[in-house]
Amino acid sequence: MNLYDYFMRSAKRTPGRIALVYQDRRWTYGELAASVQSLAQSLDAAGVRPGDRVLTISRNRPELWVLFWAVQRLSAALVPLNPQMDGADVAYCIEDTEPAAVFCDDGGASVMTSLPPGHRAPPLVLTSADIHAPRPLAGTTPARPARARSAPRGDDMALMLYTSGVTGPPKGVPRSHCNEIFSSFAHIVQNHGQFSETSLALSPWSHTMGIRTLLTATILSGTLVVPSSCQPSHLLESIARDGVSVLYGVPWIFHQLLLEDPSGRVLRQLKNVGYAGAPMPASVTQQVFAVMRPEHFVNHYGSTEVYTYSVCAELDQKPGSAGKPGVHTETRIVSLNGGEEETLPGEVGQLWVRMTSPEAFRGYWNRADATRQAVVDGWFKTGDLVLRDDDGDLWVKGRVDDRIQIGGRTIWINEIEQALATAPGVADAAVVAVPNAQGDPHLIAYVVAAAAPAAIRQWVEHDRRLYHARPQLFFVEDLPRQSGKLLTRKLAPQQS
């Protein structure tokens, strides 16, 4: 059981079907299979061996798609980094991964030039030209002799995704072939996937959501449309021109698309939509139903470590709910009072997920300390605070460190963020807790304004949801995000 076999099954089943669209170019499965085979031969000749890591710093591009499958063909593992990573994080990942090769698009090449002095130099650096016209990639004989190749096994590493490092350095999360196959089929079942659909590759392939879109589209002989820009107007153009019917992304992008197409003229073309990565404000959920009118609308709740925690497909009845455990998932909610006592319905606790799920990783790369902290007696401690209602549905309240006390009241930071994000004139918002002069927690809100700051301040002062929190507002041009997720640690310099 390996990913490459699923790719080749689609290539043989539907060789003439369009697999990939980028700008005005289209490639069939048959054409891409030939490109994958040719690149795999070149990488093999250059010395890439089974078990090696091939690191990438690239936006979603056709070259990255071909490289992904060529690496699987060689029984190696892809390590896709988000091109928005700064030089220090990239240098850390290169040192941690020890890649046999690195692929950079134009933006990735710029990141490589910004790496700190003394960083590890990869033995082979690939460019887009190497992917488009495979040729001998190294002018010398490989330092390591080739060895007999066999098909990847299910427990071999297929890729490694780095967590975004929201509060600290990135952590590598190895994902096996079995992990990715079971996660992809769970996604197909839980999101009502069908053969030959056309999906928008909106989430970066350095993120678990983006990888899932890539893999499920390939398994189902679908078409993947790769946008060259994430500007809402461009995305709407791609949806209309290329017949996109499936969209899977973070809540923020739904909000932006609805602002761009408030009548739903283009968005109603989408039949199957889902979100993940962050809570979606109830007002945005209601807009999706009212404007887009999708046949299926799902909230997928999970992580890089364990793809599915739970899924809610009843958002019209329970907007914001994370729903019930996924098809492979067993969960428990553990009390915050210490020990391993489970909570009662309506009580907030930390979500734990059983590691027997075939979607679950087996530990962090080179971080036994982090693994020991996160995995206890066969359960993954997610760090998320949730409650279960009387129907058995989960509701996410925030992270363990997102709950603070102000004036004797419990304040949930994510609820304050959601309230701000839906305020008139607010394009984006993030809230962090910092100690004040007396050492007590104090909320700072970073706001990207689309209206006069004075009007936003007035709205905040009169909104009852924010009365006890009283966040201090700072207006900024943008917020540091990767794959739609806020990088809290990048806000730290502004807090001072």
Read off the pLDDT of residues 318-340 as tens digits, 9 standing for 90 and up.
999 999 999 999 999 999 887 88
Residue 272 lies in a domain: yes
Between CA 131 and CA 65 the distance in angstroms is 10
384/86: higher pLDDT: 384
Q: Do residues 395 and 320 share a domain?
A: yes
Both 358 and 433 in one domain: the answer is no
Structure confidence at residue 483 (pLDDT): 56
Kindly state the DSSP code that residue 56 receives in the 8-state scheme: E
In a domain, 337, yes or no: yes
pLDDT band at 152 (very low <50, low <70, confident <90, very high): confident
Are the C-beta atoms of 67 and 90 separated by less than 8 Å? no
What are 41-62's pLDDT values in tens digits? 999 999 999 999 999 999 999 9
411/392 same-domain check: no
How many C-beta neighbours within 10 Å does residue 207 have? 24
- Split at pLDDT 50, 70, 90, the class of 130 is confident
378, 399, 420 — which closes off a domain?
399
Q: Which domain holds residue 280?
A: 229-399
| Cα–chain center distance at 16 | 30
When pLDDT is cut at 50, 70 and 90, the band that residue 24 belongs to is: very high
Which of 257, 253, 268 has the alpha carbon at shortest distance from 203?
A: 253
pLDDT for position 146: 47
Tell me the range of 136-150, 285-299, 442-456 where mean pLDDT is highest: 285-299
* 448 and 364 part of one domain: no
According to the model, what pLDDT value does residue 347 have? 95
Pair (46, 114) in one structural domain: yes
Confidence (pTM)? 0.84
Q: What is the dihedral of CA 115, 116, 121, 126, to 10 degrees?
A: 10
Position 357 scores a pLDDT of 98
The phi and psi torsions of 247 (rounded to 5 degrees) equal -140, 130
Same structural domain for residues 384 and 458?
A: no
| Residue 95 reports pLDDT greater than 50 | yes
CATH of the domain at 459: 3.30.300.30
Counting residues of the chain whose pLDDT is more than 90, the rounded percentage is 65
Q: Is residue 194 part of a domain?
A: no
What's the Cα-to-Cα distance from 268 to each of 288, 322, 332, rounded to whole Å? Answer: 10, 24, 38
Provide the pLDDT for residue 429: 87
- Between CA 444 and CA 453 the distance in angstroms is 15
Domain boundary among 371, 399, 427: 399
Domain assignment present for residue 381? The answer is yes
Q: Report whether pLDDT(435) > 90.
A: no
Asked whether residue 33 falls in the same domain as residue 80, the answer is yes
Please state the rounded mean pLDDT for residues 296-316. Answer: 97
Instruction: For residues 172 and 240, state if they share a domain.
Output: no
Asked if 383 contacts 303 with a C-beta cutoff of 8 angstroms, the reply is no
User: In the predicted model, what is the mean pLDDT of residues 413-442?
Assistant: 80
Between 364 and 472, the higher pLDDT residue: 364
What is the rounded CA–CA span in Å between residue 82 and residue 90?
9
Instruction: Determine, yes or no, domain membership for 199.
Output: no
How confident is the model at residue 137, as a pLDDT?
58
Whole-number Å distance between alpha carbons of 179 and 305: 10
CATH of the domain at 336: 3.40.50.12780
* Residue 362 resides in a domain: yes
159-192 pLDDT, tens per residue? 999 986 555 678 999 999 999 999 999 999 999 9
Task: Return d(Cα 347, Cα 386) in angstroms, integer.
Answer: 8
| CB-count exposure of residue 425 (10 Å: 0-12, 13-18, 19+) | middle
CA separation for the pair 132, 74 (Å, rounded): 18
Q: 106-119: b or e for each residue (b if 16 or more CB lie within 10 Å)?
A: eebeebbeebeeee
Find out whether 214 and 201 touch, Cβ atoms under 8 Å.
yes
Q: How confident is the model at residue 1 (pLDDT cuts 50, 70, 90)?
A: confident
Same domain? For 338 and 457 the reply is no
Local confidence band at 462 (pLDDT 50, 70, 90 cut-offs): confident
Pairwise CA distance, residues 373 & 232, whole Å = 40
Q: Give the residue among 190, 342, 348, 362 at the shortest CA–CA distance from 272.
A: 190
For the chain, the domain total comes to: 3
Q: DSSP 3-state assignment of 157?
A: strand
Amino acid found at 186: A
DSSP per residue, 283-334: HHHHHIIIII--SEEEEEE--SSBS-SEEE--TTTSTT--BEE-TT--EEEE
Does the structure show a pLDDT above 80 at 150? no
Burial level of 77, CB count in 10 A (0-12/13-18/19+)? buried
Look at residues 343, 373, 399 and tell me which one is the last residue of a structural domain. 399
Q: For position 409, what pLDDT does the model report?
A: 73
Q: Are strands 172-176 and 157-162 parallel, antiparallel or unpaired?
A: antiparallel
Mean of per-residue pLDDT scores for the chain: 89
pLDDT band at 134, cuts 50/70/90? low
What percent of the chain has a predicted confidence (pLDDT) above 70? Answer: 91
SS3 state of residue 241:
helix
Residue 343 contacts residue 387 (beta carbons within 8 Å): yes
Residue 477 CB contacts under 8 Å (≥ 6 apart), including other chains: 448
Please write the tens of the pLDDT for every residue from 231-273. 999 999 999 999 999 999 999 899 999 999 999 999 999 999 9
**Can you give the pLDDT at residue 113?**
81
Examine the domain organization and report whether 177 and 103 are in the same domain: yes
Domain membership flag for residue 112: yes
Is the model's pLDDT at 147 over the cut of 80?
no
Q: Of residues 371 and 481, which shows the higher confidence score?
A: 371
**Res 485: pLDDT:** 64
Q: Looking at the structure, do residues 333 and 476 belong to the same domain, yes or no? A: no
**Residue 216 located in a structural domain:** no
What DSSP character marks residue 279?
Answer: -
**Measured between alpha carbons, how far is 354 from 325 in angstroms, rounded to an integer?**
11
Quick one: 150 and 172 in the same domain? yes
For the segment 100-118, what is each residue's pLDDT rounded down to a tens digit? 999 999 888 888 887 877 7
